[in-house]
Structure 1
Amino acid sequence: MRMLRPPSLSRRFPVWLAGLCCLAAVGLGDPAAAENRLADTASDYLRDHADNPVDWYPWGEAALERARREDKPIFVSVGYSTCYWCHVAERELYEDPAIAARMNAGFVNIKVDREQRPDLDRVLMQATEALGGGGGWPNNVFLTPELEPFFAGSYFPPEPLPGRESFPQILERLSAQWRSDREPLVERAERIAAALRAQSGASGIDPARLDPLAWREQAVAALSETFDPLVGGFAPAGQSSRFPQSPKLSLLLSAAEAGDDSAAEMLDLTLAAMSIGALFDHVGGGFHRYTVDPQWQVPHFEKMLLDNAQLIGLYARAGNRLEQPWYARVAGRSIDYLERRLRAEAAGLYTAESASLDGIEGKSYVFTSEEIRSVLGERADVFLDWHELVPLPESRIDHELPDGGVVNLRPGRALEALDGNQLAAAMTGLEGDYAALLDHRQARGQPSRDRKRVAEFNALAGLGLLAAAQPLDRGDAAGRAVAVGEWLWDTLWDERAGQLSRQAYAGQVSGEAFLADYAATGRLMLALYGSQHELKWLFRAQRIANAIEARFVGEAGRLHERALGEEAAALPITPPLLGDEVGPSGHSLAVVFLLDIGQVMDAPLRQRRAVAALAGFAGEVTADPSAWGWLVGELARPSRAAAVERFAAELAAPEPAGPGASRDHVAVDAQRVEDGEAIEVRLAIDPGFHINANPASADYLVPTRVTAVDGEIGAIDYPAGKPFRAAFATEAIDVYEGELTLRAPVAGDVPTRLRIEIQACDDEVCLAPDTVEVPVGR
């Protein structure tokens, strides 16, 4: 049961790690310390590897510098603390002194906690997919010192298996090839990196094409094509595992609330199947990460705050919409699970609970019928009439399985009771049995928990608790949401700096917060204002909105996942926008939050900026609305859809002509010439105006420059400018006047659009710099 990646919502490759830095290395022959460099990190996952004989580094500048200095390839292993196969790899590989010696001698070895660095996780996962290494965690990528990928994979066995190399064999092969014949590795790395660079960032669209209602309709239609009509859920043909995919369920709920019967049917069947099967923990409450079978019967046993945060609100709201009390019961028991297992004593919620106990996956969760009879006595027959124990599948890699099976409801009887709205009442009669079995289960010991308390996940949990509080009549859930909001503000928000930290761990606050952290926290503050009617929550939401606009909104109003000032220092790339995968993306959360707070504060300019930000990545949404399920579902709600329509129309309206725009005085045209080997760019400058030559005569002047929006062009031989001195100037500058023709050689894929930067001036004043995009004609 290797930890799989959820079904990919986008196969588009992002820009590669062109500016990747802050990696680490070890020296040839360096002895591993008793504790390596992971001992003091703020991550249970990294600390779990602190006493490995592998000389691990965390993600940091020292590693990258050393890798380059010693000319070694880099081994980056990405995982997280509750990943079962990550722990298997540690026991079988990284605790082995012989394997560690090979790693230390031949490679720079780096550990990354994906929940601390989701941006790195996504970029490295794209590299693995491009290399044909599948997808899942642990994600292991071999890089050149120039940070280009040449080999990748997930779990590597310690001994050879049929058709599979062992990890020692992989290390030996790659290390030997790097020393003696690295050219094929380097060529492959350059080829893969070039493919990843070919498509980067987000694609915007004309604001006039923003249409949330059409997106929702298209998304529901797309989901119906991958919907399993027998057991619910969405998966491509042949995929055995099943993930809850909460953003898709949120989309269906939005459509169902708007009267879409087909969406309501898909939602109802999926929620029923997940909660009758063992994705839902019938004994202890809460949801596991995914199931390894399509019938939802055998889970991968880890439990994640991110999943439960969303499913609590979904089940509570769906129970209300579909008039199904069973869903309300499932939501309520999941709230109880969060309180019992993930609430930290110091406030906030932990990130996850492990799948294994004593190194055996599922040991904490399975039961034998003999155990059940021993615990329940004469009540056992009633319990087993309702429940079945589904055996675990045989391990493909000879790992120990626990004795017993997974508790499922018997599907036939459960579905019959569900159809009659009697399932919740029947299970209420078994509460004493569940409690007794839970006590017995807890006596075995409990799986470890990831003690990071992450802003994004906590804020989503607070939103889920608030969403459930009213339909479940659970005042305690609202109280827990308030406590989460207070903790986020008191612990992770720095009022003086006006910024948020990503996490708290072992009493320490650390980590650069991402757009998702800010936007989720802002949404929780605004929701708490709506439920508690205290102005402090509105003021806090306003502070976070200001921080988002100051730190994450860049050129042309586009959103960035990382704060703009941080990108240049750490990872100056745009990680791939994959939509709302396991949870809502930072881009999605930010657009909805800024629209909502603009509505509450009567701030139309803020709403307009939110719609402009949406237009900046809406090309991705238009291409596959179902991949952005949470965003599409939320934007299609009436008040937001009306706001998008209003401000999109304003943004699409032509700007009034006037002397203030450089583009009004320069006409630009581009045509392919020389059988496609070059592009001819013609500029016609209005009489009385000029534009700066390239190079410009002074640093403060903007030179005329042509770049490719897509494709690739080579260096342009810009002509010399004509000297010009304005009446108010003391020195002449070089300018272009009249008509100008430039030749742009095609250096790769032929561009379909070019971007021309200009600054127009007349005898008295220079207008604001401007950027014009033009199509390339044939």
Structure 2
Amino acid sequence: MANALAHETSPYLQQHAGNPVDWLPWGPEALGRAAAEDKPLLVSIGYSACHWCHVMERESFEDPATAAVMNAHFVCVKVDREERPDVDAIAMEYVQGATGHGGWPLNVFLTPGQVPFHGGTYFPPEERQGMPSWVQVLEAVAEAWSTQADEIRAGGDRLAERLSGGARLRSSGHAFDPAALDDATAALRPLYDAVNGGWGPAPKFPAAPTIEYLLRRGETGPAVHTLKCMAGGGINDQVGGGFARYSVDATWTVPHFEKMLYDNALLARAYLHAWQATGDADLRRVCEETLDWALREMRASDGGFFSALDADSEGVEGRFYVWTVAELREVLGPDADEGIRWLGATDGGNFTDPHHPPAPGDPGLNVLEDRGPRPDDETRARIRAALHERRAQRVRPGLDDKRLTAWNALMISALADAGAVLGRPDYREAARATAMFVLDTLRTPEGRLLRTYNQGTAKLAAYLEDHAFLLEAFITLHEATFEARWLHEAIALGVTLLARFQDAEHGGFFSTADDHEQLLARRKDLEDQPIPAGGSAAAFGLLRLGALTGDHRFVAAAEGQLALLQDIAPRYPGAFGHLLQALEFHSRPTLEVAIVGPEADRAPLVAAVRHGLRGDIVLSGGDGVEDHGVPLLAGRGLVGGRAAAYVCRGFACERPVTEPEELTALLGAPHGSA
């Protein structure tokens, strides 16, 4: 018999609908039952593509005896961390503080008043490697609650304050010294892996915000080296495109195979910008392969993008992606020797699933890499096509088909930016369609933004990151298309950010709106993890919006966020890449560029702006006849009947120019170029 999760639209929650655990979704029913029965809440948090979440479900949540213990002593709540980042953030900070580490599955015990008092991540079904069994944990917590409930409840107010994230942070009050950006760049160097790229030891996560920051600073060496190392490794699907969430080793060889929409949106844009900075054709190729994968495999018919592909298929991690040498020989035929050398496959293999170790004599399994001698373009294409065709016959990994506003916004930005820079109208059209999907589907009739959509239902109040990423997306889409409606939508979002999320007293932005449901704490989440922090995206987007509109309200609100972190971010640059980009943007004089004229006539001028990586520019354009309410276009007309470019600083403009060479001279060298 199904539990209450059967009525949910989250694929992760639906995965648990058949468990014998009496799961409830987070909400009034669960909180009310805990209060009425004076039982602790057992809040178990994960996401559909999480391998260890599946393991714990199979081992414990599907077991009737274990479920009986859970049901007897707790109100059991399942949370999709992607739908409820607010609940996840409080639980994660508690567990990291209590145990020194975090991750998913995340299992936390709360009082009926939502105060956490015990928690951890994965627990095995029996004692193992120093870890207690899940049932031992359940019984110990139940015993503690029955004998020490009053002591457990004590101190809840102090804990709530501690779990408020950056809400207690205050500005130092002094002006920002741009030299701190040099310090941030220097602080990254000791952590850099000069051999394999990336920062820190294994496991390695793509650090798109850090890479983007370095590209803006002109530090193309480590940024490009990291991108190339990732592109050649198994973390990049050499057959179908798209990046996995992280690699378990230092060399980017063996991934944890789940593919997340947000990683691929962020990385596609990083590869695009690296190509702009260097002209390296391989970087452009990876950008396009990543976006083409997303359009092919992650896009719904309604224009929205799905959230993730699972790491597992047929219950085995990576089965969809790995190959034996014998299978490669069978599939590739006369291209086999060349293909096997190129893709680095060996009889011994490079991958072993710890849950399904090979039997003696089993052939080795290989994650394919692009590190060997490359065949010519025609042969490479033939090899990829043959492998793709064979792989399509396998059982595919599970798809998390919910559409999240924030992650769709990241993909809008990537597609719009790449469409404009690469001259790919198909990318621009896809960005438009996704933007329309969000506006038409993920808003209430009153215009309030919602978080998630699936199975015909949009729900849950949107968070700061949803608004902030969408603000950045609409600005990027306006710059890519010159359509006024996207700037007007961006302005509306900017007003909402100031009205509902800004901390007008202390600066910065809360992660939830002012009328969000009351949780233990109203947080300010500050760090990129690895998706950019909502406050950093809000600051960067509002700075760009202020430059496009001349409205200082937006700039002042962004400066409040920057002031909170301007001392911290340069000391910990790996956690604040997006915020550092905003500081870099704000520390330079911004060029406001308006290009007017018929589309074909203005194209050479537009191309001059988009040549090279120019992070200090905001761009708008029009026909030179009507400004359509776009401030940068007001009073800007053709010059002698010709398309013209106006380069402005603080809306004070230079003499308009009509030749691309003149415009390039006014703009100066792209500051991100090598």
The structural deviation recorded for 1:453 is 0.7
Task: Show the counterpart of 2:530.
Answer: 582
Aligned counterpart in structure 2 of residue 201 of structure 1, from 156, 164, 167: 167
2:631: which partner in 1?
none
The 1-side partners of 2:582 and 2:567 are apart by 18
The match for 2:544 among 588, 596, 601 is: 596
Displacement of 1:557 in angstroms is 6.6
SS of the aligned residue for 1:242 comes to coil
The one-letter amino acid paired with 1:438 is H
Cα–Cα, structure 1 residues 215 and 426, in superposed 2: closer, same or farther, change >3 Å?
farther
Deviates more, 1:173-182 or 1:483-492: 173-182
The answer to whether the 8 A contact 2:508-2:557 is kept is no
- Could you tell me which residue of structure 1 aligns to residue 589 of structure 2? 642
Task: Please tell me whether residue 554 in structure 1 is matched to residue 503 in structure 2.
Answer: yes
Contact kept in structure 1, 2:165 and 2:526, CA below 8 Å: no
Amino acid at match of 2:300: A
2:570–2:580 Cα contact (<8 Å) kept? no
2-structure distance, mates of 1:530, 1:116: 30
What's the offset of the Cα at 1:344?
A: 0.7
Q: 1 CA distance for matches of 2:560 and 2:403?
A: 32
Find the residue that maps to 2:495 and give its secondary structure: helix
Q: Deviations over 1:710-756 (max 9, x none)?
A: xxxxxxxxxxxxxxxxxxxxxxxxxxxxxxxxxxxxxxxxxxxxxxx
Alignment of structure 1 residues 438-457 onto 2, 5 Å: 438-457=388-407
Distance 1:403 1:183 in 2: 59
Helix, strand or coil at the partner of 1:522: helix
Mark the CA change 1:581 to 1:465 in structure 2 (over 3 Å): closer, same or farther.
same
Q: Pick from 367, 374, 386 the counterpart of residue 407 of structure 1.
A: 367
Residue 559 of structure 1, CA deviation:
3.5
Q: How many aligned residue pairs are there?
A: 587
Distance across 2 between alignment mates of 1:40 and 1:318: 45
Partner of 2:411: 461
* Paired position in structure 1 for 2:338: 382
Over residues 157-195 of structure 1, what are the superposed CA-to-partner deviations in whole Å (9 max), with x where a residue is unaligned?
A: 1122232222122222322343346678667x8699379
Give the equivalent residue in structure 1 for 2:452: 503
Q: 1:70 pairs with 30, 37, 56, which one?
A: 37
The 1-side partners of 2:197 and 2:474 are apart by 34
- Note the C-alpha offset of 1:92: 1.4
Alpha carbons 2:184, 2:570 under 8 Å: kept: no
**Residue pair 2:317, 2:353 contacting (<8 A) in 1 also:** no
Q: 2:624 maps to what in 1? A: none
Task: Return closer, same or farther for 1:199/1:510 CA change in 2, 3 Å cut-off.
Answer: closer
Identity within the alignment, % = 35
Q: Report the Cα offset of residue 384 of structure 1.
A: 1.0
1:124 to 79, 91, 94: 91
Q: Distance in 2 between matches of 1:200 and 1:362?
A: 38
When structure 1 is superposed on structure 2, of 171-180 and 435-444 the one drifting more is 171-180
Distance in 2 (alpha carbons) for counterparts of 1:132 and 1:456: 30
Q: Which moved more, 1:368-377 or 1:522-531?
A: 522-531
Structure 1 unaligned residues grouped into runs of 5+:
1-33, 257-262, 415-422, 645-778
Farther-moved stretch of structure 1 (268-277 vs 69-78): 69-78
What is the CA deviation profile of residues 305-328 of structure 1, one whole-angstrom value per residue up to 9, with x for unaligned ones?
000001001112212312321111
Residues 588 and 630, structure 1, Cα contact 8 Å, conserved in 2: yes
Residue 367 of structure 2 aligns to a residue whose secondary structure is strand
Q: Distance in 2 between matches of 1:292 and 1:220?
A: 26
Structure 2 portions without partners, runs of 5+? 592-674
Give the Cα–Cα distance (whole angstroms) in 1 for the partners of residues 185 and 409 of structure 2: 27
Matched with 2:16 is: 49
User: Which residue does 1:517 correspond to in 2?
Assistant: 466
* Distance across 2 between alignment mates of 1:66 and 1:301: 38
Residues 37, 552 of structure 1: alpha-carbon distance in 2 compared, 3 angstrom cutoff: same
The answer to whether the Cα contact below 8 Å between 1:216 and 1:633 also exists between their aligned partners in 2 is no
Residue 268 of structure 2 corresponds to 312
Secondary structure at 2:117's aligned position in 1? strand
Aligned to 2:301: 345
Q: Deviations over 1:585-625 (max 9, x none)?
A: 11111112112122112223432333234324545435534
Deviates more, 1:576-585 or 1:277-286: 576-585
Q: TM-score, normalised by structure 1?
A: 0.71
Q: Tell me whether 1:246 sits opposite 2:212 in the alignment.
A: no
Which amino acid in 2 is paired with 1:540? E
Match of 1:573 in 2: 521
> Does the 8 A contact of 1:498 with 1:547 survive in 2?
no
Higher Cα radius of gyration: 1
Amino acid at match of 2:365: G
Counterpart selection for 2:569 from 621, 631, 645: 621
Contact 1:595 1:640 in 2 (8 A): no
Match runs of 1:76-95 below 5 Å: 76-95=43-62
In structure 1, the residue matched to 2:424 is 474
Structure 2 counterpart of 1:488, from 438, 463, 470: 438
Q: What is the match of residue 648 of structure 1?
A: none
1:329 aligns with 2:291: no
Equivalent residue number for residue 642 of structure 2: none
Q: TM-score, normalised by structure 2?
A: 0.82
Cα distance in 2, alignment partners of residues 396 and 585 from structure 1:
34
Q: What per-residue deviation string (whole Å, max 9, x for no partner) do you get for residues 331-375 of structure 1?
A: 111111101110012221001111111111101100111111111
Task: Tell me if the contact between 1:514 and 1:561 (Cα under 8 Å) persists in the aligned partners.
Answer: no
Asked if the contact 1:554/1:564 (under 8 Å) is kept, the reply is: no
Q: Closer, same or farther in 2 for the Cα pair 1:222/1:622, shift >3 Å?
A: closer
Residues 264 and 199 of structure 1: is their aligned pair in 2 closer, same or farther, counting only changes over 3 Å? Answer: closer
* Structure-2 separation of matches of 1:110 and 1:392: 39
Give a deviation string over 1:201-255, Cα, whole Å, max 9, x none.
15232554224x33432221111121111111112xxx42110021111111111
Output one character per residue of 1:276-326: Cα deviation in whole Å (capped at 9) or x when no partner: 111100011010000111111100000000000010011122123123211
8 Å CA contact retained: 1:462, 1:485:
yes
What secondary structure sits across from 1:119 in the alignment?
A: helix
Tell me the C-alpha RMSD between the 2 structures: 2.6
Q: Secondary structure at the match of 1:233?
A: coil
Against the structure 1 CA distance between its residues 604 and 195, is the aligned structure 2 distance closer, same or farther, given a 3 Å change threshold?
closer
The answer to whether the 8 Å contact 2:245/2:260 transfers is yes
Name the CA distance, whole Å, in 1 between partners of 2:364 and 2:272. 32
Deviations 1:254-276 (A, max 9, x none): 112xxxxxx32211221111111
Q: Check the 8 A contact 1:75/1:107 in 2, yes or no.
A: yes
Q: C-alpha separation between the residues in 1 aligned to 2:165 and 2:286?
A: 43
Structure 1 residues 526-565: aligned runs within 5 Å: 526-556=475-505, 558-565=507-514
The 3 A distance-change label for structure 1 pair 579 and 292 is: same
How many angstroms apart in 2 are the aligned matches of 1:352 and 1:503?
Answer: 14
In structure 1, the partner of 2:126 is: 159
2:364 and 2:169 map into 1 onto residues whose CA distance is 51
Distance between the aligned counterparts of 2:356 and 2:340, measured in 1?
30
Provide the rounded CA distance (Å) in 2 between the counterparts of 1:372 and 1:534: 48
Distance 1:557 1:530, change over 3 A: farther
1:167 and 1:399, CA in 2 relative to 1: closer, same or farther beyond 3 A?
A: farther
Residue 66 of structure 1, CA deviation: 2.0
Alpha-carbon distance between aligned partners in 2 of 1:354 and 1:605, rounded to the nearest angstrom = 43
Are the aligned partners of 2:526 and 2:536 in contact in 1 as well (CA < 8 Å)? no
How far apart in 2 are the matches of 1:155 and 1:176?
Answer: 21
Deviation at 1:114, TM superposition (A): 0.6
